[in-house]
């Protein structure tokens, strides 16, 4: 993996067409709260741009976080984080480019918004291959005029997607499910996955897709999936609340859910949120709905 990433960057550097060359990235966190406050000790100070490229800054941001995120291998990849606030945000398009002449890596966010009372916030964390030494990381923003009539802008309050139960059930034996995220969106992927012993009924992949993953916890743990589609970033997010059950023994559970497939091109993000009790889960869900209703 490390060799492959190094070869990729050497190709960008040595190639004469490497100026402004686009590089791939993955969204690892998409937070819609007012402040990016993953840690109870962070307050609102992480609302600025961040380069998360070593253990100390990673632990400072995420160590006490209810968001359970895997630590990246910083020799292979780094995380970049930015907070975008605006009125009537309608679209955020992210691109990452590398310039071997200027020795820069630039994350550009093209933002469409309007003047109105509705305030929107997106905290986005992406993962990119670790740049070569002495490359500067830049955050750039392009503000685009939205030609849509203000009265025609659709409501950007995020509604959760309906979770469908299908033949292999919502909660499945963990030995059949990978601990890595699984997104199944066509027949060939489904066939290979179903042969592992799932025995699931094949859905209509023109309308739906399958999201699956296993999670660790205690022997009485509960998993509550909350999928939603964010039209501003064209991202399907699966928030899985992993609720501690008060058991001393370890445990593991899996989820397999069927959700409506977005019509446009989209990315998928899995987010695990660990909570101490069912009452904390209820309070969290109630707070989230209250925040959405205020927008």
Dihedral of the CA atoms 131, 140, 81, 109 (nearest 10)?
A: -110
Q: Please say whether the beta carbons of 187 and 196 come within 8 A.
A: no
Cβ contacts of 36 within 8 Å, gap of 6 or more: 42, 44, 46, 47, 81, 83, 123
d(CA 44, CA 247): 34
d(CA 108, CA 106): 6
Cβ contacts of 66 within 8 Å, gap of 6 or more: 38, 273, 274, 275
Strand positions, DSSP E, the chain: 21-22, 26-31, 50-52, 67-68, 77-87, 91-99, 104-113, 119-129, 136-145, 171-172, 182-184, 208-218, 222-230, 235-243, 250-260, 267-275
d(CA 240, CA 226): 6
Least confident of 148-157, 197-206, 223-232, 270-279: 148-157
Least confident of 17-26, 36-45, 50-59: 36-45
Q: What is the mean pLDDT of residues 95-106?
A: 95
pLDDT range class, residue 292, cuts 50, 70, 90 = low
Share of the chain above pLDDT 70, in %: 76
Q: What pLDDT, on a 0 to 100 scale, did the predictor assign at position 32?
A: 86
Residue 192: pLDDT over 70:
yes
Q: What is the mean pLDDT of residues 117-121?
A: 82
95: β partners: 108
Q: What pLDDT, on a 0 to 100 scale, did the predictor assign at position 170?
A: 43
Q: What pLDDT, on a 0 to 100 scale, did the predictor assign at position 73?
A: 93
Q: What pLDDT, on a 0 to 100 scale, did the predictor assign at position 64?
A: 72
CA 190 vs. chain centroid, Å, equals 23
Q: What is the DSSP letter of 135?
A: P
pLDDT range class, residue 52, cuts 50, 70, 90 = very high
Q: What pLDDT, on a 0 to 100 scale, did the predictor assign at position 69?
A: 86
Q: What pLDDT, on a 0 to 100 scale, did the predictor assign at position 7?
A: 52
Least confident of 4-18, 70-84, 106-120, 151-165: 4-18
Q: What is the mean pLDDT of residues 70-80?
A: 93
Least confident of 49-58, 165-174, 227-236, 281-290: 165-174
Instruction: Give the CB-side neighbour count of residue 198, counting CA atoms within 13 A.
Output: 28
Residue 12: pLDDT over 70:
no
Q: What is the DSSP string of 78-108?
A: EEEEEEEEEES--EEEEEEEEETTTTEEEEE
d(CA 212, CA 168): 11
Residue 93: pLDDT over 50:
yes
Radius of gyration of the chain (CA): 20
Q: What is the mean pLDDT of residues 60-81?
A: 87
193-247: pLDDT as tens digits: 877 767 777 889 999 999 988 898 999 999 999 999 999 999 999 999 999 998 9
Q: What is the mean pLDDT of the chain?
A: 81
Residue 59: pLDDT over 90:
no
Q: What pLDDT, on a 0 to 100 scale, did the predictor assign at position 151?
A: 45
Share of the chain above pLDDT 90, in %: 39
């Amino acid at each position: 993996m490390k060799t492959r990433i190094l070869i990729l960057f050497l190709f960008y550097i040595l190639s004469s067409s490497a100026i402004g060359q686009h590089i791939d990235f993955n969204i690892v966190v998409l937070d819609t709260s007012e402040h990016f406050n993953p840690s109870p000790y962070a307050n609102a100070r992480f609302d600025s741009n961040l380069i998360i490229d070593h253990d100390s800054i990673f632990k400072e941001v995420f160590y006490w976080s209810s968001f359970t995120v895997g630590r990246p291998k910083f020799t292979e990849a780094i995380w970049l984080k930015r907070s975008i606030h605006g009125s009537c945000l309608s679209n955020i398009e992210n691109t990452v480019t590398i310039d071997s002449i200027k020795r820069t890596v630039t994350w550009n966010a093209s933002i469409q918004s309007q003047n109105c009372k509705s305030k929107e916030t997106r905290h986005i964390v992406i993962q990119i291959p670790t740049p070569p030494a002495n490359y500067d990381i830049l955050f750039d923003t392009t503000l685009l005029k939205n030609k849509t009539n203000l009265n025609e802008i659709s409501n950007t309050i995020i509604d959760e997607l309906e979770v469908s139960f299908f033949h292999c059930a919502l909660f499945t034996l963990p030995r059949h499910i990978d601990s890595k995220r699984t997104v199944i969106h066509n027949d060939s992927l489904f066939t290979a996955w179903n042969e592992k012993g799932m025995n699931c009924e094949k859905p209509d992949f023109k309308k739906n897709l399958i999201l699956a993953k296993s999670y660790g916890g205690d022997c009485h743990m509960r998993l509550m999936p909350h999928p939603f589609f964010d039209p501003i970033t064209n991202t399907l997010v699966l928030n899985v609340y992993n609720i501690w059950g008060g058991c001393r023994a370890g445990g593991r559970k899996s989820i397999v859910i069927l959700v409506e497939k977005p019509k446009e091109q989209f990315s998928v993000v899995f987010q695990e949120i660990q909570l101490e009790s069912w009452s904390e889960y209820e309070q969290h869900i109630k707070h989230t709905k209250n925040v959405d209703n205020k927008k």
